[in-house]
Amino acid sequence: MLNAPVAKTVLEDLFGSAGIRIDGSDPWDLQVRDERFYDRVVTEGTLGLGESYMDGWWDCAQLDQLMDRAMSAGLKHWRPKSLQVKLSVLGLLLLNRQAGRGSRRVAEVHYDLGNDFFAQMLGRTMTYSCGYWPAAANLDEAQDRKHELIFDKLGLASHHRLLDIGCGWGRLLAYAHERTGCSGRGVTISQPQWDYARQACRGKPIELLLSDYRDHSVGAGKPFDRIVSVGMFEHVGRRNYPAFFARVADLLADDGLFLLHTIGNRAQSGVDPWFDRYILPNSVVPCVGDLSAGIDAHFVLEDWHSFGHDYDRTLMAWAENFERYAQTPEFPFDRRFQRMWRYYLYSFAGAFRSRNHLQLWQLVLSKKGKRGGYRSLR
């Protein structure tokens, strides 16, 4: 444990390098409520920063602006003094925690919070991934534009059979049938999502499976003409990327197309321990190098589209919905959960806004190269 004045000086200098003041008057400045904050953050890094916010030890009027400044200044490279936290982060990188039972933990901790909760935050489309904001005036429109962009990139038509790996609440499949007349199959490991998706897709030629993408049942029948995975790849894990791409290739028709929509990382910089503990356990964001081997072994890269700046606006829209819901008597969670979720949404908005760390990618892949060439769409 550091001497308290020394820990305070360390953090004043650290945050000061990003233009952030402790107890300053700007909206991105930290307001410290508990002096234990200093030693906790110096010792535990981002884990201590997030947990101390949850505990009410500090506040900030605009968390998104604070995180934008911190990320832009490269403060994420600063490391805690705690050996225990350092070993914990190392374990996140070395262990295959997405294998077997570990692959379902993210559903239990995060996606199973309840359909009512996510309906309040996500809006009409129940879509929990980055929207596409060009020509969109609000969140619902941004999500519809994103789905329409996907359909156009895949050239989705009525005779196609579509597989959605990580289908969430079923919106993409239901909207795909409404727009194009295609049939489909969706896969999720979350029981509440599966229950909701079955209702959303009722009466449509869409089958919903409560299973892992690796299960035999996913591939029953003929190969799929089109496959899409939106916001699920972050839960696959680096050690499983080769097997994931091999599985998709096995499920895809020889002349088919696969669209992968995923958050991306500028570099293989590891896993944030606070995010892993409280938000999406066992999740890993890939960098470009992580994807290359699996793609090269099974696919031809037809298109790579980056629009991570749109995630900032998406997250801020979710945060606005969440804040409104949290003030109602129907909000089912305690104050610590409220602060945890607020920290998550605003921090990630700021991280995407900084543009030098987190990205958002859509890749279009074919198995043998599209004859006559692929027409890139934006």
Q: Would the CA dihedral through 169, 352, 344, 139 be positive or negative?
A: negative
DSSP string, 81-108: S-HHHHHHHHHHHHS-TTSGGGGGHHHH
In a domain? residue 206: yes
Segment 86-113 mean pLDDT = 52
Residue 306 confidence (pLDDT): 97
**Whether 203 and 284 share a structural domain:** yes
CB 184, CB 173: distance < 8 Å: yes
Residue 21 confidence (pLDDT): 98
Percent of the chain whose pLDDT exceeds 70? 89
Average pLDDT, the chain: 90
C-alpha span between 296 and 242 (Å, rounded) = 10
Residue 89 confidence (pLDDT): 41
In a domain? residue 280: yes
In a domain? residue 334: no
C-alpha span between 377 and 305 (Å, rounded) = 9
* CATH number, domain containing residue 123: 3.40.50.150
- Read off the pTM: 0.90
C-alpha span between 33 and 46 (Å, rounded) = 18
For the chain, what is the domain count?
2
**Whether 173 and 32 share a structural domain:** no
In a domain? residue 314: no
CB 193, CB 111: distance < 8 Å: yes
**Whether 144 and 271 share a structural domain:** yes
Q: Which residues are bridge partners to 207 per DSSP?
A: 185
Region of poorest pLDDT, from 74-83, 206-215, 266-275, 352-361: 74-83
**pLDDT of 228 over the 70 cut:** yes
Residue 91 confidence (pLDDT): 46
**pLDDT of 124 over the 50 cut:** yes
In a domain? residue 14: yes
Strand positions, DSSP E, the chain: 31-32, 58-59, 161-165, 183-188, 206-210, 224-230, 252-265, 300-306, 358-366
Segment 283-287 mean pLDDT = 91
Residue 112 confidence (pLDDT): 72
| Residue-range definition of the domain harbouring residue 288 | 101-308+355-366
Region of poorest pLDDT, from 195-209, 274-288, 291-305: 274-288
**Whether 79 and 137 share a structural domain:** no
Return the DSSP state at 80: -
Greater pLDDT, 239 or 253: 253
CB 228, CB 327: distance < 8 Å: no
pLDDT digits (tens, 9 = 90+) for 134-189: 999 999 999 999 999 999 999 999 999 999 999 999 999 999 999 999 999 999 99
C-alpha span between 182 and 173 (Å, rounded) = 9
Q: Can you tell me whether residue 346 is helix, strand or coil?
A: helix
Residue 103 confidence (pLDDT): 45
Segment 304-311 mean pLDDT = 97
pLDDT digits (tens, 9 = 90+) for 38-57: 999 988 889 999 999 999 99
pLDDT digits (tens, 9 = 90+) for 322-352: 999 999 999 999 999 999 999 999 999 999 9
In a domain? residue 318: no
**Whether 211 and 359 share a structural domain:** yes
**Whether 131 and 266 share a structural domain:** yes
Segment 53-67 mean pLDDT = 98
In a domain? residue 341: no
pLDDT digits (tens, 9 = 90+) for 68-97: 999 999 887 665 544 444 444 444 444 454
C-alpha span between 113 and 94 (Å, rounded) = 28
Segment 277-294 mean pLDDT = 90
**Whether 74 and 114 share a structural domain:** no
Residue 83 confidence (pLDDT): 46
C-alpha span between 276 and 177 (Å, rounded) = 35
